[in-house]
Amino acid sequence: MSAVLRVQDLSVAFHTRGGVVRALDRVGFSLGAGETMALVGESGSGKSVTAYAIMGLLEAAGRVTGGQAWLGETDLLAADLSRIRGRRVAMIFQNPRAALNPIRAVGAQIADVLRRHGGASRFNAGARAIEALRAVGIPDPARRAKAYPFELSGGMCQRVMIAIAVAANPELLIADEPTTGLDVTTQAVVMDLIQAMAARTGMATILITHDLALAAERAQRIAVMHAGHVVEEADTATLLAQPRHPYTARLIAATPTAAGSLDDLQSVPGGLPDLRRDDTPPCRYAARCERRLASCDGALSVRALAPGHQVACTNPLEAAA
């Protein structure tokens, strides 16, 4: 399979006053054309940092300290990303209203991207921006193009964000919690729109969310992150039916489903470890883990349990029969 995105051993550290935060440690996953992969994990597990590292948008304190990220044949960690961002990889964010320029009409913001990447000229960029608004299902696009973000609802703003992101037909879309903060019906509409755009253009999607239920519904594959590690990666059905990493199992137990009752919910005990310490244990889940063995303090390696099913655990759960 030719991968659209291949991330290997990606490590990121932030230099802060309190010390070096090893936010990502040997993160790896890959993504085929047209595929939707979900990156799930609790808050602070490193989902956004992964996305920013791929996009080259880490803030000044953050550095990629190792690993590789390949977009097709392009080495993202070495390439001039200014020609790749927005053109081959695009990103949409949580809180769409704040993610749009408050004093620029939304049509103009789309036109800016079209002029930069989409080969639009100064003269037809406006008309093409209106087309882009129509394509993301905004009614009366010619009028809405002149609106400012504060005049549009959150859902409308997220549609505009999507129009900006897909303006140049990127190969990969990274959606960082695209529906957080929207009401439930709008969430579904926005996700449907993202998937429709992906289907139309063959674009691969990374869906970043802490909502395992959303991931289960929308993604073909799921990578579970915990404290800067990808602890398990598998196709959605396998991961949900046969979680092998204790953390994944806990996460599933903590996720409300239509079938289960809220009483059955168990939260994941413990918190994320302090990533500033030099002696961060090899398995960053060990302190919270009920299956911990003495050998867990040794080196941690990622094991392939089946084709396409990796887990980073010394003592994984048994496969269900």
Ligand X SMILES: Nc1ncnc2c1ncn2[C@@H]1O[C@H](COP(=O)(O)OP(=O)(O)OP(=O)(O)O)[C@@H](O)[C@H]1O
CA atoms within 13 A on the CB side of 200: 12
Q: Nearer to ligand X by C-beta: 41 or 141?
A: 41
Structure tokens given for 228: 């800067």
Considering only 61, 98, 142, 306, the residue that binds another protein (CB under 8 A) is: 98
Counting contacts by CB under 6 A, is residue 29 touching ligand X? no
Instruction: Compute how many residues bind ligand X; rule: CB under 6 A.
Output: 16
Residue type present at position 203: M
Residues binding another protein: number (CB under 8 A)? 33
Taking the C-alpha atoms of residue 126 and residue 121, their distance in angstroms, rounded to an integer, is: 9
Quick one: 320 exposed, middle or buried, by C-beta within 10 A (0-12, 13-18, 19+)?
A: exposed
Half-sphere exposure in the Cβ direction for 142 (13 Å, CA): 1
User: Should residue 48 be labelled a site residue for Mg ion when binding is judged by CB under 5 A?
Assistant: yes
Mention every residue, 6+ apart, whose C-beta is less than 8 A from residue 295.
314, 315
From candidates 4, 49, 203, 212, binder to ligand X by CB under 6 A = 49
- Within 61-120, the residues that bind ligand X by CB under 6 A are 61
Q: Which one of another protein, Mg ion, ligand X, none is in contact with 242 (Cβ closer than 5 to 8 A by kind)?
A: none
| Binding flag, residue 150, another protein (CB under 8 A) | yes
Q: Which residue in 20, 79, 148, 180 binds another protein (CB under 8 A)? A: 148
Taking the mean position of all CA atoms in its chain, how far away is CA 175? 5
The nearer residue to Mg ion, 112 or 176, going by C-beta atoms, is 176
C-beta atoms surrounding 227 within 10 Å: 26
Residue 86 contact partner, candidates ligand X, Mg ion, another protein, none, CB within 5 to 8 A by sort of partner: another protein
**Stretch touching Mg ion by CB under 5 A, among 40-48, 198-206, 212-220, 251-259:** 40-48
Q: How far is the CB of 55 from another protein (least distance, A)?
A: 6
Q: Does 155 bind ligand X (CB under 6 A)?
A: no
d(CA 158, CA 176): 12
Rounded CA separation 246/58 (Å): 30
Give the Cα separation of 49 and 27 in Å (integer): 11
CA distance 137 to 254: 35
Q: Could you give the CA distance from residue 107 to residue 142 in angstroms, rounded to a whole number?
A: 9
Nearer to ligand X, 169 or 180 (CB): 180
Interface with ligand X by CB under 6 A: which range of 45-53, 105-113, 196-204, 242-250?
45-53
Q: Which listed range, 4-12, 102-110, 186-194, 291-299, lies at the site for another protein (CB under 8 A)?
A: 102-110
Residue least distant from Mg ion (Cβ): 48
Question: Using CB under 8 A as the criterion, which residues of the chain lie in contact with another protein when the complex forms?
Answer: 55, 57, 81-87, 90-91, 93, 95, 98-105, 112-113, 116-117, 148, 150-151, 161, 164-165, 167-168
